[in-house]
Structures are given as C-alpha cells and as structure tokens.
Structure 1
Amino acid sequence: MSMHIALTFDDNFWAPAFATMRSVCLFTPQREELVFHLCQRTLTPEHKADLEAIRDEFPVTLVWHELDQMDMFTDIAARMPESERFPSIVYARLLIDRLVGNGVDRVLYLDCDTMVRDDVKRLFDLDLEGNAIAAVRDISGAHITSGRDMRKNRDIFDPADYYFNSGVMLIDVRRWREARIIEKMEELHQAGIMQRIYYDQDLLNLTFKGQWLSLSWRWNTIDSMPAHESLNPAIIHYTGDNSPWHLLSTMRPSVAFARLYRHTMTNALFYRFARHRWKRWWLKKLRLMR
C-alpha cells in the first residue's frame, strides 16, 4: 500500500527538502511504497533536477504540485499574514486534501526542516481513533499562544489546553476535508483573529482542539541537542536558529545528528546550499546598504 508524504517549500529551501525526503528513504525499508507530494513554488529547473535525482537512488514516486498555478493558494498567500521567517508558503499545508486528491486516504505531512530516523510505516499503521490528525504536543505551546507574561490572546486560547506542533502530522484526508479549514480561516480573518495568531499552526490547533491523537515526543523532537541523541528520536525537527545546514554546526555540533544530517543531504548538496545561503545573505545586505 502506498505511503503518501507531503512537503511544502520554496526555492530557498530546496536542499533541506531533499534531505527530509532522502532521510525517509534511508530509514524506511518499503521504499517502493513511498509517494512524495512535492508542493512547491519558485523552484528553479536546476533545483528541481536535484530533487528528481532521488529516483536514481530509490524506487520512489514523485508527484509535483506547482502552488503558483493554484488560484486558491495564490489568493490566500496574497491576503494572509506572513513574515520574513514565516513566508506565505506556510499556508500550503492547509490545502493538503485538495493537492493530493480524492484517491488518497492518509498523508504524512513533514516540514522541510525535519530529518527522519525511523520507519515511517509505523505511523501509517497507527489507529487514529477517529481523529483527523496525529501529532506531537509542542513543548512551547502555551508560550506560543499566550506570549509575554502569558497574557496574550486569552480570549482565543486557554494555556491549559494541549497544543500540537504542525511540523509533523499524520492526516486522515477525509476528516481533514470535513473540518473545512479554509472556510474557518476566512471566518477568523474577517473577525480579525488571523492577524493576531501564530499563522497556520494556531489555526490548526483551533480547528482540531481536543480532536487530535497525541504521538510520542520521538516523532517530532523539537530543537534537540547532541545530548538528546542517546534518547533515539525518530524525527528531529530543527526549528531554532542553530540548524544543521549551517557550516559551523558540523564543525562544532550544537544540534542533534548534525553530521548525519550533512551526509543525508549529501556533501555536494550541503556545500552548494551553503553557497546559496551566503549569496542570499550578501544580496540582502547590499540592498539594505543602498
């Protein structure tokens, strides 16, 4: 049976997307069952070829989704709140049910700053117990929703409620579709609430409040450090400023499995991505100096 996995990214994150995809392939024995839905925008032909090369190594299926050709996405991207750290691509995962189509029952969504170290079939075999999604509780959930002094948005969120991180989600596509996420987002936008909350992750927590299956922390270990390697996390999620694609991370490791990550991305792509990031940094610097 096919295992459908969705990634959303733009051209600034093509190499980490490849690393996430390749990590799934390396640690999942049933590679011929893997179907990757690559939901992307602004990807150059060169970087698309880098991702296509995964099929030279593993017998996987790639399904490409061009977000800029999807009217619903471009409309949402133009109107919903975004920032430099959280560009409009974050809203793409809300459209997972529309992107994968009606013939797919389950999808594993992975942020492209994750690395998998265990067989994802174990997730696909889970009993969702009637829930639309399975996810991991976010250790920073109360602070994300309540902010400084734990007083922000108390009319929207109760810090006592469990809050999940949306970077790793096993999704029941039919129940996700029935939740009418886009319609709920539009209602919250008209009410001025989308402008106050933490982008799509808060929206998903509002939509599925009390209706999600809690997974073990192993399946979304956020910002783990080298000391956590002995705990054997299944999926590492690099959300902090110290990321394994930084050159210094592999020289003086400050995050878990930094060296493994570099070799998962492959050395060649790792250094190309480093040059890409340096070029972007200098171009931004020069624009600010004008």
Structure 2
Amino acid sequence: MKTIPVFYTISDNYTPYAYVSIQSLIDHADPNKDYTITLLVQEISPEHKKSLEDMSTDNIHVNIFHISDDMVNRIHKGKENYLRAQFFTMSIFYRLFIPDLFPQYDKAVYLDADTIICDDIANLYDTEIGENMFASCPDLSIRYMPLLQKYIKECQGILPAEKYINNGVIVFNMKAFRDKHFVDKFYYLMDKYHFDNVDPDQAYMNEICEDKIYHLPKEWDAMPNESIPEIENPKI
C-alpha cells in the first residue's frame, strides 16, 4: 500500500495547534489508506514529542524529524526576514527543505499547523499538478491590501499580483524541487538581496517558482477574510 506523506513544520510552542490540525486530519482520513505525518522541528520537549507520536493509529503514522542547525544557519535573522507581525521564526523556512530532506518521495502535502482539515487529505494529495513545481491557493487577502499589491508588483515583479499564492497549504512536486535545485536558488537570492520581506518563505517560493505554480481551488485554503464572503464547504 502506498503512503500519503504529509508534513508540518513547527516550533515547540506550536505543538497544541499542530495536535488539533492532525486530529482533524485523522477524523477525515480513509481507513483503507496509509498516511505518514512528519513534523519538522529544531527543538521539542519530550512531553510534546510523545503527545504527537501517540496520535498514531494503525494506518496513520506520526513522526518527529529534527532539523539540524547546519541546514538553517545561513538564514539571516535580520529585519528583512521578519513576518508581517514583526517577529522572526525559523520554523517558517523549514518547508523549503522538505523535498531535499525526503528524497524517497516524489510528491507530498505540506500543511501549516494552524489549519483544520475538513476533507480526506488524500484527495488533495491526488490532485494532478502536471509539471508544476507545487500547487497552492492564491492569496486572496492581497486583493484588498494596496500596499501589499505594490510590494508584490514592484519588489518581486509578479504580474498580475493575483498570481501570488499563500503557502500554508502545498502539494509539492518533490522531484521537480530537487531537479531545479530550489534550495541553491533560495540561498543565492537570500544572500544577494536584502530588502524587507512581508512573508519571507512565501516570497521565495513565489519568486523562484513563479511560472510553475498550479493554483488550487480556494476551498483548499479557506483562510478567513473580512473583505470577502465566507467560503462555503471549505476543505481546509
């Protein structure tokens, strides 16, 4: 039986949110399918590690993977890599390394820890994305934020700005990321250009993969937005 690989990237204090998200995934999983859930962390308490691993069932396997300091020590903890909320968290960058860290998979799903899964995640995994490097939903919120639209157009050169995606939900073409040496390109851009990013990890994925992104239906990332009606029947 093939396994459906699902990844989360967290810091220790995000364990409770990841727990809720994984439980929602379990609640909607097909008992006749096999799922492997891997959480990438640098540090995690023994209690939190056990609480997550104990979620495993007969067909859902929850594992902890420790990110080495060497892998992320080139990422600058500078102002340009702070989130819009004006804080820095290394864990947002872990997702960029997933394809290289897990060469046994040619395809995988990534989920932010603050998600609620309302559908069998296997249906997302089975999405056919062709030769694209990954699939995600467009970031609907930017359509109502003129300053962010200006940033995307003038700093990143992504036109139209509506192409810009939110990478809280990703279907990775893992093989394409490895074949294109994505991590090398990421390090190159980060070392060469120093300007204030609003979503650092997301900005690099949009920039490097711009014309190789498959746009998922909005139901797969129904992030609440006060500027648009609530998305009916969200899948995530």
TM-score of the two chains, using structure 1 as the length reference: 0.71
Kept in 2, the 8 Å contact 1:65–1:99? The answer is no
C-alpha separation in 2, matches of 1:10 and 1:163: 26
Kept in 2, the 8 Å contact 1:132–1:171? The answer is yes
Distance 1:233 1:154, change over 3 A: same
Alignment of 1:94-109 (within 5 A): 94-100=96-102, 102-109=103-110
Kept in 1, the 8 Å contact 2:4–2:122? The answer is yes
C-alpha separation in 2, matches of 1:219 and 1:152: 23
C-alpha separation in 2, matches of 1:178 and 1:27: 33
Alignment of 1:235-254 (within 5 A): 235=236
Deviation at 1:142, TM superposition (A): 5.5
C-alpha separation in 1, matches of 2:98 and 2:148: 33
Kept in 1, the 8 Å contact 2:82–2:197? The answer is no
C-alpha separation in 1, matches of 2:49 and 2:171: 26
Matched residue SS, 1:233: coil
Is 2:72 aligned against 1:73?
Answer: yes
C-alpha separation in 2, matches of 1:97 and 1:186: 15
Alignment of 1:86-101 (within 5 A): 86-100=88-102
2:48 corresponding residue in structure 1: 47
Deviation at 1:143, TM superposition (A): 6.6
Structure whose CA Rg is larger: 1
Q: CA RMSD in A?
A: 2.6
2:20 corresponding residue in structure 1: 19
% of aligned pairs identical?
Answer: 21
Matched residue SS, 1:76: coil
Matched residue SS, 2:193: coil
Alignment of 1:1-290 (within 5 A): 1-30=2-31, 33-55=34-56, 57=57, 59-67=59-67, 69-76=68-75, 81-82=81-82, 85-100=87-102, 102-141=103-142, 147=147, 150=150, 154-161=154-161, 162-193=163-194, 195-196=196-197, 198-223=199-224, 228=230, 231-235=232-236
C-alpha separation in 2, matches of 1:149 and 1:119: 33
Distance 1:140 1:178, change over 3 A: farther
1:267 corresponding residue in structure 2: none
1:249 corresponding residue in structure 2: none
The one-letter code sitting in structure 1 at the alignment partner of 2:157 is: F
Kept in 1, the 8 Å contact 2:137–2:165? The answer is yes
C-alpha separation in 1, matches of 2:202 and 2:148: 19
C-alpha separation in 2, matches of 1:209 and 1:149: 16
Query: Which structure ranks higher in relative contact order (CA pairs < 8 Å, sequence separation ≥ 6)?
Result: 2
The one-letter code sitting in structure 2 at the alignment partner of 1:48 is: K
Q: 1 or 2, which has the higher helix percentage?
A: 1
Deviation at 1:22, TM superposition (A): 1.3
Deviation at 1:65, TM superposition (A): 1.0
Kept in 1, the 8 Å contact 2:111–2:170? The answer is yes
The one-letter code sitting in structure 2 at the alignment partner of 1:150 is: K
Deviation at 1:189, TM superposition (A): 2.3
1:275 corresponding residue in structure 2: none
- Which runs of no fewer than 5 residues in structure 2 stay unpaired? none
Distance 1:45 1:85, change over 3 A: same
Matched residue SS, 1:189: helix
C-alpha separation in 2, matches of 1:71 and 1:140: 35
The one-letter code sitting in structure 1 at the alignment partner of 2:182 is: I
Number of equivalences: 229
Matched residue SS, 1:61: strand
C-alpha separation in 1, matches of 2:32 and 2:155: 46
Deviation at 1:126, TM superposition (A): 1.8
